[in-house]
Amino acid sequence: MNKKKVTGKNGAVAAGRAGSESAGIRMLKAGGNAIDAGVASVLALSVTDHDQFCFGGEVPMLIYSSKDDKVFAISGMGTAPQKASIDMFVGMDAIPGDGILPAAVPSALATCILALDKFGTMSFAEVVEPTIEILQKGGQEWFPRLRNTLDRLIDAEKGEKDRSAGLEAVRKLFYEGAIADEIVSWNQGEGGLFVKDDLANYKAQIESPVHGTYRGYDVYKCGFWTQGPSFIQALNILEGFELSSMSNDDPEYIHLVIESLKLAFADRDAYYGDHEFVSALEEILLSKEYADKRRSLIDRNKASLTHIPGDPWKNRALGKVEFGKHAFVGMSNDTTTCTTGDQFGNMFVATPSGWGSGMKPGSTGVVLGTRLQSFNLWEGHPNMIKPGKRPRITLTPTLVMKDGKPFMTISVAGGDQQDQTALQIFLNVVEFGMTPQESADTTRFGTNHLIGSFRQTPVAVGNIVIEDTATEKTIKILQEKGHNVQKTAVFPSQAVAILWKQDGSLEPGGDLRKDKHLAIC
């Protein structure tokens, strides 16, 4: 698709590689809603983007249901197996980044089934049909095995007369039945940690999203088991500056965004973790009062060269946190993107990921991810690995409302850059009046002044990574402020977004140069 402005009245899909977006559009044209379309696209992405998202991976979701007039989060992150205690990794600096040991319980299918059951209208057979057609064309040696697994799931659904019962039959076969047995047997045969109860006890969960506001916009993110709340923390800090008087390529603007992100990510690194295991002090970390205190640390003329979290326990600007040993060897695998909207006002946005362990899958054709590497091995840290716990992940869909109505969704791939890119796309639209496509096409920047989310790589002090489309003047001013500026030809993130316009139309945009695809109907 070329970069001309596109809008649709009946629906829109913005996703990954070719075939993923058409899977969603097929559902909309067949009478389905945005959730049906989103699930169909996610399932297709497990094949079209299989190097970025595998069927055994994870997919956090945010959904606005027009019927319920409410935003929901679905925890699409699998848990650590029962055997994945810290003792399992004694003698290691970090959890391995590949192989079978870092595989979490596969969550993508359970998440899709839950979304369909509670918010969709279609059957599993209907939404998975485009995926089966893609598999039939061939490409990987495991395609026929995954196709057979999908056929078995469809057969299980056909045995039930009620739609919800049929969806539950799909879930049970995969997590409690013969398919689960095959996955566990293969995993154990490769030296993995799975036991049958790991899959049988796993349930995707509907949760309340975290919520923030920015100049009258309501912003929703998944919880502190993701890095998503850092987006809200950064917005709270930036709300104290008059950004609209600048431009998105103004070095002063870039400086303020980077400095706000440094503060938000320092808190992320210190305090975020699965809220079912630890207290993330949500009310303090996301409060405007705490942001005011953190903002006071920003010097408009000088880059910060420190990585210092605040103290939410005492609601103070500065805290003292001791971090564990860094692994120094990290890997940042890719992810993919998906967001949909429909004529009824429903919104769907997800960040599918999983990458695959590099292990050839067994008889099921289901590739497992390696997300346990996002845990650390630091005693007492909120993100230390424990059985049954979700790792604090980078996957972070964004959903925005304005005056109680849909406004925008954003899905980004790119590890620690995900919320940084989402923040820029949001601000480009809200502060500078850009379209989603214009926003995706502008010069992108970010920082690695943070502890890496994959095997805990160390802080790159004062770092800014910026696309080489930035002017030499901009780069020079940033360097004069003390930033360590690194130019790149291609920024390491990919984004898609949908904007809901006042006339009722939907306008998608995204990184077309990075093989993202948009479609409208």
Instruction: Find tokens 């699409």 and name the residue.
Output: 76
Instruction: Find tokens 């975290």 and name the residue.
Output: 210
**pLDDT reported for residue 327:** 65
**pLDDT reported for residue 324:** 78
DSSP annotation of 512: G
Count CB atoms within 10 A of the CB of residue 475.
19
DSSP annotation of 359: P
**pLDDT reported for residue 357:** 64
pLDDT digits (tens, 9 = 90+) for 367-381: 999 999 999 999 999
Residue 464, pLDDT > 70, answer: yes
pLDDT confidence tier of residue 116, bands split at 50, 70 and 90: very high
> How does the average pLDDT of the chain come out, rounded?
94
**pLDDT reported for residue 218:** 98
- pTM here is 0.96
- Ranges 164-173, 201-210, 316-325, 477-486: which has the least confidence: 316-325
Residue 330, pLDDT > 60, answer: no
Distance CA 518, CA 20 (A): 10
**pLDDT reported for residue 1:** 39
- Ranges 117-131, 283-297, 325-339, 376-390: which has the least confidence: 325-339
Distance CA 424, CA 431 (A): 10
* 113-123: b (≥16 Cβ within 10 Å) or e: bbbbbbbbebb
pLDDT confidence tier of residue 331, bands split at 50, 70 and 90: low
pLDDT confidence tier of residue 110, bands split at 50, 70 and 90: very high
Instruction: Find tokens 């319980």 and name the residue.
Output: 105
Residue 361, pLDDT > 90, answer: no
What is the average pLDDT across 289-306?
97
pLDDT digits (tens, 9 = 90+) for 495-505: 999 999 989 89
**pLDDT reported for residue 280:** 66
pLDDT confidence tier of residue 6, bands split at 50, 70 and 90: confident
Q: Can you give the residue ranges of every domain in the chain?
A: 11-204+336-374, 210-329+397-502
CATH assignment of 210-329+397-502, given 1.10.246.130, 3.20.10.10, 2.60.40.10, 3.40.50.2300?
1.10.246.130
DSSP annotation of 384: B
Do residues 98 and 48 make contact, with C-beta atoms less than 8 angstroms apart? no
Distance CA 12, CA 68 (A): 21
What is the average pLDDT across 95-99?
88
**pLDDT reported for residue 2:** 41
